[in-house]
Structure 1
Amino acid sequence: MKKQQESLKNMVYQAILNGIFTDEYKPNQIINEQELVQKFGCSKTPIREALVTLCNEGILRSFPRFGYQVVSVSREEAQNILDFRLVLEGGYLRQSIGNITEENLAELAEIDERCKQSTDSVWDHWEANTAFHLKLISFSGNAYAYQELERTMNVLKRAYAQFYWQTWSNVNPALDIAHHNDIMQSIREKDLEKTQNYLKEDLADFCG
């Protein structure tokens, strides 16, 4: 029974998260617990557990006896996260650039190819672009840095969804990977300054 409850909770959690990504649930919208019970056809327990988890992760905000609000990510907050990414990714590039091999670069190139081939699907493209940056920081060998970037990318994914549905629906997703080749080439040349500058330009394309 406990396993079934956990499975239902995970199903509801993922469904709400996907609803945020697909604009079913908009920024600042109130989600009602009873409506979710009717929608998913299950008891309140897994619904409430999923909602509590989403609140703990900062995705929803609880208003007792009223509902759960979808937390909006402002452009300023998104920019602060991108600034953090630049420090995090750029800092670990400083440590790892001398040890990145041609084999490593081939792995990056393979992921970059996935990025180019996935521009018809916003979320396939997002996942491929995320994989590129996670692979890049993985060369540092620091598991904590990898996990922190992964967490950060999850927050940015919500911002990306919010901005995309509101203002970006006519934007070419390929624009946000325009500097991948530059990054890989400057790593090949072991030119840290150029690599960090290209990384900065790459991140700036998020809010461009």
Structure 2
Amino acid sequence: MTDKKNAFSKSKKKLLSEMIHDEILEMIIKNTTDEEMILNEGRLMEIFQVSKAPVREALIKLCAEGVLQNVPRYGYLVIRQQEKDKREVSRMRVLLELEALKEGYEEILQYHLPELLQQIEGINGAKQIDDVWAIWEDNCEFHLQLASYSKNRLLLRYLQETMDRQKRIYAQQAWESQKTLKATFNDNSHKRIWQELFNHNLEQALKCLEKDISQQSDEGIMQM
């Protein structure tokens, strides 16, 4: 485990409990054992070298988000994601991202097509990546950048939370299917979305975006 104190000192914009929340979530996502994961307040206090208050606050937030379940006198149990959760997340992403693209369409055409293409070409330059989470982050970067042109901060916050939840679902699928997390990024769906925007065809761009999101949900991160 890296020195958490040094990591925390780099950012003063986040509360300590929020940073611990994010670190715990990453621990959950990257767990690769078949056993059910149980988190303990005392052990987390040792790992992060902090008092009980920020750890407990982070755990309470994770319970509210449906990540953990508090089992009295036992600990915090990681809640396994179900098929229904995957469908709900995919549908929420479609609703949020299509609305964001509609809101940001004119802004994109006028100012942002070059930088969006640069982002896509930067990702496609890495043909083979062993770290599946690097691929996931690149994918998130594109979708969040595309949605950001709507300038709708509340929508962006919900989208980020939805994609964080989807990351956990993909992680669970990876654990259950195979223990080696490797993937190849060879998908051109982002370029197709950009091409339709370049052609000033919003309707087709929306269709390509919805198809891209749906494919990610159906096939999982290993096929992105």
TM-score tier after normalising by the smaller chain length:
0.7 to 0.9
- The structure-2 alpha-carbon separation of the partners of 1:148 and 1:173, relative to structure 1 and needing over 3 Å to count, comes to farther
- The structure-2 alpha-carbon separation of the partners of 1:78 and 1:34, relative to structure 1 and needing over 3 Å to count, comes to same
Residue in 2 that maps onto 1:70: 78
Deviation string for 1:127-149 (max 9, x for gaps)?
22111111111122222111211
Q: State the one-letter code of the partner of 1:190.
A: H
Residue in 1 that maps onto 2:62: 54
Residue in 2 that maps onto 1:81: 89
TM, length-normalised to structure 1: 0.81
Q: State the one-letter code of the partner of 1:87.
A: L
Unaligned runs of 5+ in 2: 1-7, 220-224
What is the identity percentage for the equivalent residue pairs of Structure 1 and Structure 2? 32
Residue in 2 that maps onto 1:96: 104
Distance 1:54 1:153 in 2: 15
Distance 1:99 1:40 in 2: 43
Q: State the one-letter code of the partner of 1:108.
A: L
Q: Is the 8 A contact 2:101 2:150 kept in 1?
A: yes
Residue in 2 that maps onto 1:172: 183
- Structure 1 residue 112 corresponds to structure 2 residue 120: yes
What is the CA distance between 1:182 and its match in structure 2? Answer: 0.3
- The structure-2 alpha-carbon separation of the partners of 1:27 and 1:179, relative to structure 1 and needing over 3 Å to count, comes to farther
- The structure-2 alpha-carbon separation of the partners of 1:149 and 1:13, relative to structure 1 and needing over 3 Å to count, comes to closer
Q: State the one-letter code of the partner of 2:60.
A: V
Q: State the one-letter code of the partner of 1:92.
A: A
Q: State the one-letter code of the partner of 1:72.
A: R
- Structure 1 residue 142 corresponds to structure 2 residue 152: yes
Q: State the one-letter code of the partner of 1:188.
A: F
- The structure-2 alpha-carbon separation of the partners of 1:45 and 1:170, relative to structure 1 and needing over 3 Å to count, comes to closer
Distance 1:106 1:157 in 2: 28
Residue in 2 that maps onto 1:157: 167
Unaligned runs of 5+ in 1: none
Q: Is the 8 A contact 2:34 2:175 kept in 1?
A: no
Q: Is the 8 A contact 1:119 1:125 kept in 2?
A: yes
Deviation string for 1:46-65 (max 9, x for gaps)?
43333223223322111112
Distance 1:61 1:24 in 2: 19
Aligned match of 2:193 in 168, 177, 183? 183
Count of aligned residue pairs for this structure pair: 204
